[in-house]
Amino acid sequence: MLSTVAVVVRNCGRIKLHCAIIGNRFVSAPCGCQVRLKGGIVTKQTQEEPIGTLDIISHGSAQTQRLGMRLGELLRGAELILLDGQLGTGKTTFTQGLAQGMHITEVVSSPTFTLLKEYAGQPSPQGEGESVEERHIGPALYHFDLYRLDDPEEILDLGFEDYFYGSGVCVVEWAEKADLLWPTEHLRIRMKMMSETKRGLLFIATGTRYCELLRQFQKNTYATTGS
């Protein structure tokens, strides 16, 4: 069972436009108010970048992996996915599902000791009447794990910054260890342990492109689960 939890928004006095998106309906909230919603994406349009959030509860590792797969199916390249959360919250499990959604068949494991593992882009499934030559090659997946990173500047020293502005999909575990280095636009997923099997996933999209990605992810996820 997949469920969204209540979203609470407070202190929106500096927000130019504040609305909750539930299906195709927009529920506006004036500045300074408090909004409590069941489900849906909450977006804030600021003077800098639009921000969208989606709060989901996963009831097991298989479901966490399926959520990753639904996101991976939507990725077209040049995306930056930041994963926050303590040990055991499902960051690598989510990434494994994301790789499946990108049609990557290699075994995905956490690059704890190497900081980075690269997975080549794979052809999309062959459509009816489509030749092998016509199949689209998806983006490469760059899987980072910053758990053992001592100094965020090491990312720059190793030349990893180029990946974050490249054409591949970058997924970064323990992204909070280098928060000052990330591009303004990205999708952050904060994962927390709620019980032995239950995990909370808070999706925070920054930038118009990532807000649209989050909307499509929500649409595809609920169309699949029927929730």
Q: Which pLDDT score, from 0 to 100, does residue 221 have?
A: 87
Residues 6 or more apart whose CB falls under 8 angstroms from that of 37 comprise 6, 7, 20, 22, 27
Q: Name which of 5-14, 94-103, 176-185 the model is least confident about.
A: 5-14
Q: What is the mean pLDDT of the chain?
A: 81
Summarised one tens digit per residue, pLDDT across range 116-146 is: 999 999 997 765 555 556 678 999 999 999 9
Annotated domain spans of the chain: 52-124+136-225
The 10 Å Cβ neighbour count of residue 27 is: 13
The CATH code that applies to domain 52-124+136-225 is: 3.40.50.300
Mean pLDDT in residue range 105-115: 91
pTM of the entire structure?
A: 0.78
- pLDDT at residue 196 is higher than 60: yes
Q: Which pLDDT score, from 0 to 100, does residue 77 have?
A: 97
- The C-alpha atoms of residue 181 and residue 91 are separated, in whole angstroms, by 20
- pLDDT at residue 50 is higher than 70: yes
The 10 Å Cβ neighbour count of residue 105 is: 9
Q: Name which of 32-36, 82-86, 113-117, 138-142 the model is least confident about.
A: 32-36
